Amino acid sequence: MITDSKLCDRNLFTKMHTMFLYLFFKVHPSVSQSLAENKPVVALESTIVTHGMPYPHNLSTATEVEAIVRAEGATPATVAVIDGEIRVGLSADELNYLAQSKSLLKVSRRDLPYVVSKGLSGGTTVSATMIAAHRAGISVFVTGGIGGVHRDGQNSLDISADLTELSRTPIAVVSAGVKSILDIGRTLEFLETQGVCVATYGPSEDFPAFFTPHSGFTSAYNVHNPSEAAKLIASALLLGLQNGVLIAVPIPEEHAAAGQQIEEAIQAAATEASLKGITGKDVTPFILQKVSDLTQGKSLQSNIALIRNNAKVGSQIACALSKQVR
């Protein structure tokens, strides 16, 4: 536990920092071993488990995603906070606990000091996962969708911390873009301002809209295969820019069939969220649940399909990267 007296001794700060990391930041042996051997590692977030999907789909998806990463030849490192410890790489029991417990927090960058100081547990969002994964030495992180600028965000300033994290933490985030509930145009503008290199994976220049492959906005760049993506990431790392890179992987067409129906459900859910006065960190989980209800679970199936696809592509990129950077 952190005691008041320890915190007061400022001269010990540097020593404390090292000690603190040792005590409150735990990398799973399978992950540290892979990193030490320069083998590919793929970080995974856990808000998707604690707040993004209902049980038992959250558990089966998280387990399956880890299996996909392994099948592609990389080591999965799911990040979470458990009893105040930041974990990079989880056991099956820990994943099970995260999937079933009802009292877990949604942990972004700003929440880390609080959950650690109180010894609490929670799922890490893209921003908190980026921090932990980068600190562990991981260069590729796979998720479903990232947060963005909310509609009317220019007035409410509801802009996901994921976007500012991409401007300050050098790790590649592989995602299916951002949901059309967000202001995708402003999200891309914000990322440009923050110096984040955004590339769509595949032949299309369209920036994907999570449930659908096309958002009507274009990415700055394209990468066509794992090797090209890995070169882009390696260049960002070698330049030492300290920015993240966003690789946007469109949902495969066959799983986007329900796209239009999902689109309408998203609009309905957004309206309901605003009528109910739901704000801040509760907006995204509320909309995900509502959209799943309105589409009789079709959005959940699309969500699972796109995450599996991202895990495959992200792992292939991590494998290509580990061959390029030695």
Binding site for ligand PSU (CB under 6 A): 45, 47-48, 51-52, 125-126, 144-147, 160-162, 179, 281, 284, 288
Q: In this structure, is the dihedral angle defined by the CA atoms of residues 163, 112, 306 and 232, taken in order, positive or negative?
A: positive
Q: What is the CA radius of gyration of the chain?
A: 19
Select 262 or 319, whichever has its Cβ closest to ligand PSU: 262
- Tokens representing 241? 């820019």
- Measured CA to CA, the distance from residue 105 to residue 37 in angstroms comes to 34
**Position of minimal CB gap to ligand PSU:** 52
| Minimum CB–partner distance for residue 48 and ligand PSU (Å) | 4
Select 200 or 322, whichever has its Cβ closest to ligand PSU: 200
Do 163 and 194 touch, CB atoms closer than 8 A?
A: yes
State the DSSP H helix or E strand holding residue 134, giving kind and residue range, or none if neither: helix 126-136
Instruction: From the list Mn ion, ligand PSU, none, pick the one residue 111 interacts with, judged by a Cβ distance below 5 to 8 Å according to partner type.
Output: none
Reply yes or no on whether 254 is catalytic. no
- Measured CA to CA, the distance from residue 260 to residue 34 in angstroms comes to 42
Map residue 72 onto helix, strand or coil.
Answer: coil
- Measured CA to CA, the distance from residue 284 to residue 192 in angstroms comes to 23
Instruction: From the list ligand PSU, Mn ion, none, pick the one residue 52 interacts with, judged by a Cβ distance below 5 to 8 Å according to partner type.
Output: ligand PSU
The residue from 26, 72, 165, 179 that is catalytic is 179
| Minimum CB–partner distance for residue 154 and ligand PSU (Å) | 16
Select 45 or 183, whichever has its Cβ closest to ligand PSU: 45
| Minimum CB–partner distance for residue 44 and ligand PSU (Å) | 11
Instruction: From the list ligand PSU, Mn ion, none, pick the one residue 144 interacts with, judged by a Cβ distance below 5 to 8 Å according to partner type.
Output: ligand PSU
- Measured CA to CA, the distance from residue 271 to residue 159 in angstroms comes to 18
Reply yes or no on whether 290 is catalytic. no
Select 163 or 291, whichever has its Cβ closest to Mn ion: 163
- Tokens representing 140? 């590729």
Told to check if 183 binds Mn ion by CB under 5 A, we report no
Told to check if 66 binds Mn ion by CB under 5 A, we report no
Told to check if 158 binds Mn ion by CB under 5 A, we report yes
Select 228 or 282, whichever has its Cβ closest to Mn ion: 282
* Chain centroid, CA 238 distance in Å: 23
Q: Any bridge partners for residue 82, and if so which?
A: 85
Which residues participate in catalysis according to the annotation?
Answer: 45, 179
